[in-house]
Amino acid sequence: MATNQQRREAAKRKLERQLARRAERERRRRIVGVAVTVGAVVAVAGLVVFLGTRGGDSAAEGIDDPASSSDATPGASDSASGSEDIEIPTERVEPASRPEALPNPTSCEYRKSGEPAKEVSLPDGENVPSEGTVKVTLHTNVGDIGLDLDRSLAPCTVNSFVHLAEEGFYTDTSCHRIGTEGLQMLQCGDPTGEGMGGPGYMFADETFDSLTYGRGILAMANSGPDTNGSQFFMVYGDAPLPPSYTVFGTIDDEGLEVLDEVARAGHDGRFDPSPGGGKPNTEVKFTDVTVES
């Protein structure tokens, strides 16, 4: 039979074990809490820069990322292959509109920068109209995507886009990145299909503070202020971005349906975990681009 002293020592050891377990549980909770907080901060930061630091003229243009090209890992696992159940908003956002009209006509400066991914001339930047719209159809292997370009929003951007389309720069070009979570968009416009190519020139942003992004919006890629080139992105869902990307038009309903199907097929995850997204599992290739003035 245990003596009182032995019982007291046994009770003391039991209490010590309980306190140790309690301290360990508390320590683990703190670690998990910190990890969740850090993860959330990284995710938000990744969204903010997702469109800005990779791609373009000699790695100087393109929205396809906030990370350097070394973060794009071609051999990454197909982490988004099961994206069929992603949530895609069905409501379009309101089209953008400028608080004040621009002079009409206006002039645009297109400055040479790097080697073009595909031979193309500089656009004419004189007497560029800043009124009216231009209809463009991206004919792709998965269906047509209709665009309505708005000169009043971004006359220099529309002028460049139409110029590149008419010179065949976008024809036979594949879209190189799609995002399905957080930032839901398809990025295109690099003939190399890798996110690093541009037209060999850049031009200034045409942004304003009230710009917002969401389903149906067409915008330019960039890698910082005034680094627009040929890459652009089509938003089919959520896009929590700052007003740093030139909006120059909208996407038609049929085009959004095409983007939805491509998004549900997922991507190869080569840009995960940051900035996220990857090459679409369903290839999107422009077989032709037609312009209706």
- For the chain, give every domain's residue range: 1-49, 50-293
The span from the CA of 94 to the CA of 63, in Å, is: 22
Q: What is the CA radius of gyration of the chain?
A: 25
pTM here is 0.77
* pLDDT score at 54: 45
Tell me the pLDDT of the chain averaged across its residues: 82
Average pLDDT over residues 231-237: 98
Sequence-distant (≥ 6) Cβ neighbours of residue 211 within 8 angstroms: 96, 243, 245, 247
* pLDDT score at 184: 97
**Domain 50-293 falls under CATH 3.40.630.30:** no
Q: Where do the DSSP E strands lie in 20-170? A: 111-112, 133-140, 145-150
* Phi and psi, residue 138, nearest 5°: -90, 105
- Dump pLDDT digits (tens) for 72-101: 322 333 344 445 689 999 999 999 999 999
- Dump pLDDT digits (tens) for 97-116: 999 999 999 999 999 999 99
* pLDDT score at 90: 95
* pLDDT score at 272: 83
Q: For residues 239 and 30, which has the higher predicted lDDT (pLDDT)?
A: 239
* pLDDT score at 88: 97
